[in-house]
Chain A
């Protein structure tokens, strides 16, 4: 899904990732905790990565 073409869809998908990840972390199993954290943090991490890539491209 392309951010520029489907901005609302991407925003909702990103929101879904974060919320699902944080909800998964409520379960006590360590695997779910790690998976949930990775899911929740992925939008932020992807955003930072995309920002640096775009910045380097100028």
Chain B
């Protein structure tokens, strides 16, 4: 993101002729232009993303410290889980006029289940109200809507700038600009560090040179992290579109294959039977989310049950069980299409929440180093302007 000429002097052991040719090449000039302008345009947005991202790295600790974490007592010894049907009925009774849309199971907290309720006719989660229940006592647990907590608000700002899908896509554009800035940075930085030892920051030869050395040096050591986080930022920004593609293709295919346009009349299978059928069909896999028939992510006749695997990457990748609500039979277990696999794997690689405190600290350090080189890159460009004016005057 810098606007500086490549060094004109070369130390022994380098190849000044080749480097000189390169710096006058069209590829170099185009990369320098792209690096400068993508960096400058993305800088203010990236500043906000880095600050909010740093807060989100520690969202669990912040929620707990502010008292937004649901507190559930340990289950009594030998206690059995309450039937899910009973919990869903309790939730519906507590919010008259609303029906359960989904049951969400927290893998980190198996003692709780969240029932999402929506008004009659609603199919999506936009207006859903969550109710958390103790699975062993069947009692509601006081827990705020995660979207209304301080970290929830910060997450909305980080993910979509309070603008919904357009905001998500705008965030994706910013992430894409950062990716371009980083890739072009790799192309152009060579001539600027030729002859320098790794870690060497030249002092006493002007602030500009010192800042430029810091820019290239810190940029190099944080490059992998910055590339990964910005590239996964692009894929996450496209996550809603990926889901819509799945709805329009895979879900439609499942509905057509299994005659799912006929809603179930009468009582049908209980939600507990549906869950048991899905887990029996995929031994060792656990239910993570159950979507009721008629939701935007299921058919009129089937429950959609997301199952997570027992170990390794399977814990992060769902398989989708389509369970008939009439008799609780599993119609099909579908694997995630590649674009949803990419979205799923992008989440941990973007948020850095899969390695405990050491990884959180690593994420914070990289975020702040990246923020520093963004700011000092902008400074290098602004600091360049007076000298250019002076040159023009001369």
**Is B37 interfacial (CB-CB < 8 Å)?**
no
Residue of A nearest to B185 (CB): A11
How many of A's residues come within 8 Å of B, CB to CB? Answer: 37
A11-B200 in contact (CB<8A): no
Residues of A within 8 A of B313 (CB): 26-27
How many chain B residues have a CB neighbour from A under 8 Å? 41
Cβ of A56 to closest chain B Cβ, rounded Å? 11
Which residues between 169 and 212 of chain B lie within 8 Å of chain A, taking CB atoms? 186-187, 189-190, 193-201
Distance A5 CA – B316 CA, assembled complex (angstroms): 41
Which of A16, A25, A43 has a CB less than 8 Å from the CB of B354?
A25
Binds A, one of B38-46, B88-96, B221-229: B221-229
- Min CB distance B234 to A, Å, is 15
B110 interfacial by beta-carbon distance below 8 Å: no
Interface presence of B77 (CB below 8 A): no
Q: Which one, B13, B198, B311, B359, contacts A28 given CB within 8 A? A: B311
Q: Does B349 contact A (CB under 8 A)?
A: yes
Hey, which chain A residues are within 8 Å of B14, CB to CB? Answer: 4-5
**Docked CA distance A15–B267 (Å):** 57
Q: Kindly state the separation between the CA atoms of A53 and B228 in the bound complex, as whole angstroms.
A: 29
Contact check, A3 vs B355: say whether CB atoms are below 8 A apart.
no
Binding site for A on B (CB under 8 A): 13-14, 186-187, 189-190, 193-201, 217-218, 220-225, 227-228, 311-313, 315-316, 345, 348-349, 354-355, 358-359, 362, 365-366, 369
Query: Can you list 20 A-B contacts (CB < 8 A)?
Result: A4-B13, A5-B194, A7-B190, A8-B190, A11-B189, A12-B186, A14-B221, A14-B224, A18-B224, A19-B224, A22-B228, A23-B349, A26-B354, A27-B312, A40-B225, A40-B362, A47-B198, A47-B199, A47-B221, A50-B197
